[in-house]
Amino acid sequence: MEIEVLEGVFDANEMIAGENRRLLDEAGVYMINLMASPGAGKTSVIMRTLEGIQGHLSGAVIEGDVAGKVDSEQIAATGVPAVQINTGGSCHLEARQVNGALKRLDLEETDLVIVENVGNLVCPAEFKLGEDLKVMILSVAEGHDKPLKYPLMFSESDVLIVNKTDLIPHTDFDMVALEKTVLKMNPGVVVFKVSCRTGEGLQEWNSFLVKKVRDAKQAAACS
């Protein structure tokens, strides 16, 4: 019985995720689902990403948190449209919540929507939102063994951003071991090594994202 209930939840979520995808396609908007554990640096990466794409893409952010609106207020203060979703205890965002947030954004004036999912390395990977790209952040402080403990997240993600690389000299973090483990689980994943403090690797990540959005727009125009 429990399995049937879970299947129903996933089916309903996928249906609304499909609606989100159609909504985004109609407006020519690219959306990424950004996932990580609390403290990995999601908001910092978003802020540096918004800086990096300025002049190339127009962005908007959907902020998912259990409670509060600190992150969305920080982003909105920069002039970037931001919509807050509070889950009230749920460990992930669902497609219906993102659907409501998308309808509050001016998608005709937006190229890229960044969804900051609730801080968690388990549940967010199981729920599709209608995104083009699943991106996860792992901070150096969390350790290089996290893929072994949370394999689904690493297997499902299209991009892995290893954040806080400036801390590596002060830890026993093994980047070679991490990449070996992750690429064995997910050979297609693209890995970026960044530091929001020093700026390392951010240009490569931002260039990759701008190209992804532009390629998607070009493909849509040709179809």
**Tokens matching residue 25:** 């396609």
pLDDT at 9: 67
pLDDT, averaged across the chain:
93
Domain count, the chain: 1
Q: Find the domain containing 106 and state its range.
A: 2-218
Q: What stretch of H or E contains 222? A: helix 202-222
Q: Averaged over 162-187, what is the pLDDT?
A: 97
Q: Does 187 map to a domain?
A: yes
Q: Does 177 map to a domain?
A: yes
Q: What stretch of H or E contains 101? A: helix 95-102
- Give the Cα separation of 108 and 24 in Å (integer): 10
pLDDT at 223: 73
Which CATH number covers residue 162?
3.40.50.300
Q: Does 223 map to a domain?
A: no
pLDDT at 3: 44
DSSP letter assigned to residue 171? S
Q: Averaged over 9-21, what is the pLDDT?
A: 90
**Residues 213 and 112 sit within 8 Å (Cβ to Cβ):** yes
Q: Does 15 map to a domain?
A: yes
Q: Does 204 map to a domain?
A: yes
**Residues 150 and 182 sit within 8 Å (Cβ to Cβ):** no
Q: Averaged over 22-34, what is the pLDDT?
A: 97
Q: How does pLDDT run across 113-165, given as a tens digit for each residue?
A: 999 999 889 888 889 999 999 999 999 999 999 999 999 999 999 999 999 99
pLDDT at 1: 39
Q: How does pLDDT run across 51-92, given as a tens digit for each residue?
A: 999 999 999 999 998 888 888 899 999 999 999 999 887 888
**Tokens matching residue 38:** 């609390």
- Give the Cα separation of 61 and 128 in Å (integer): 17
Q: In what order do the strands lie in the sheet with 112-116?
A: 82-86, 59-65, 112-116, 30-36, 133-139, 159-163, 190-193
pLDDT at 208: 98
Q: Which long-range contacts (CB under 8 A, 24 or more apart) does 165-169 make?
A: 165/140, 165/193, 165/194, 165/195, 165/198, 165/200, 165/201, 166/195, 166/197, 166/198, 166/200, 167/139, 167/140, 167/141, 168/140
